[in-house]
Structure 1
Amino acid sequence: MTRTGHLVPTHRLLPALLLASLLAPSWAQANGFFEYDHGLVQSSLVTTHYKTNEDDEEYNDQQNLIGIELHNPERWFAGTAWLKNSFDQPTWYFYAGREFPLWQPNEGMEVRAKLTAGGIRGYDGDKQDKIAYNSLGIAPAILPTIGARWRRFEADIVMFGTAGAMVNGGLRF
């Protein structure tokens, strides 16, 4: 239900349900799904917002993100991140995702893509409608990234829709 007491239309939930079914491991992959392979702690290094016209608001480009991910041997992972959103509000992102290897020139280096899906909590007050489907205070999010790993160091470019991009850096443990 929404805050006004009306049910959320089913067609609004279909994209999230479809993505969840795509990201969920099949029963064949479930054997070992909860095995721990490595963790990743990361922080935002650079953020930029795309401005479409001169009337655009001033956005916060200092996200101060701190995040942690837990990965299994099958390249599935779950994570959470705390950050300051585009409007300088404290925000949480809870997500699950998968890595997709693209190129591995040697054992210590890899280029890969990641796709995460989850919920964002923190767009409040007069900024609540600045993120789609946030009527319940938690908005669905799908974030693609492209990145690289060199030994224990990882870096990713995270695209957040048509709003902007962020560069994150982190260490595996």
Structure 2
Amino acid sequence: MTHPPLGKILVIISSTLLASQAHSSPPASPLNWPPTLELDHALVQTSLYTRHFDPDPEHNNHQKLISLELHTPDDWLAGGARFQNSFAQESIYLYVGREFPLWRIAHDISLRAKLTAGLLHGYRGEYQDKIPLNHLGIAPAALPSIGIRWGRVEGDLILFGGAGMMITTGLRF
């Protein structure tokens, strides 16, 4: 018996949550465009756990990720991450994105989705073709995630394409 990949299940759950949020209370401006160029908070994160959906002995599951995100009051963000990619090569992801509040569980606990998009650098040599559109050593990337915030602590479950997932945690400042 085969089981559906965890990545597909997470994408379906995230899509369902986003769709339910969109129907529950429409915002005054769907994207709050243009973003406010004001810093609301910063988020520093690291990776706790990584799993590849189709494990390969060459895969590295210890990303040693460190990231910094700058967030605006209207849920836009810009950030950068340094990590070891799936083949233990030093890599960088520079991105912009948006948070989508989903559910306030309590005063200081909330659930949210996030989508980032940017440029990924670091897949080189024999691994250059392991990610799409990496012809010049820099590839476009988009990463959906679902996360929870409890006070100043945040955690995310991030999908990296159909390849795998990563769990991160961090602090807001």
Q: TM-score range by the shorter chain?
A: 0.7 to 0.9
Residue in structure 1 matched with residue 38 of structure 2 by the alignment: 35
SS of 2:126's equivalent in the other structure is helix
Using the alignment, how far apart are the partners of 1:108 and 1:160 within structure 2? 28
Alignment of 1:1-173 (within 5 A): 29-30=33-34, 33-51=36-54, 56-173=56-173
Unpaired runs of 5+ residues, structure 2, are: 1-28
Using the alignment, how far apart are the partners of 1:64 and 1:163 within structure 2? 18
| Counterparts in 2 of 1:26 and 1:108: CA distance versus 1, 3 Å | closer
Using the alignment, how far apart are the partners of 1:130 and 1:79 within structure 2? 24
CA deviation after TM superposition for structure 1 residue 58, in Å: 2.5
**% same residue:** 52
Q: TM-score, length-normalised on structure 2?
A: 0.80
Using the alignment, how far apart are the partners of 1:87 and 1:28 within structure 2? 38
SS of 1:29's equivalent in the other structure is coil
CA deviations over 1:25-63 (Å, ceiling 9, x no partner): 999733x621110000000000011117xxx44200000
Using the alignment, how far apart are the partners of 1:63 and 1:27 within structure 2? 32
CA RMSD of aligned residues (A): 1.8
Q: 2:47·2:65 contact (CA, 8 Å) conserved in 1?
A: yes
SS of 1:143's equivalent in the other structure is strand
Aligned residues: 145
Where in structure 1 do 4 or more consecutive aligned residues deviate above 6 Å?
25-28
Unpaired runs of 5+ residues, structure 1, are: 1-24
AA aligned opposite 1:78: A
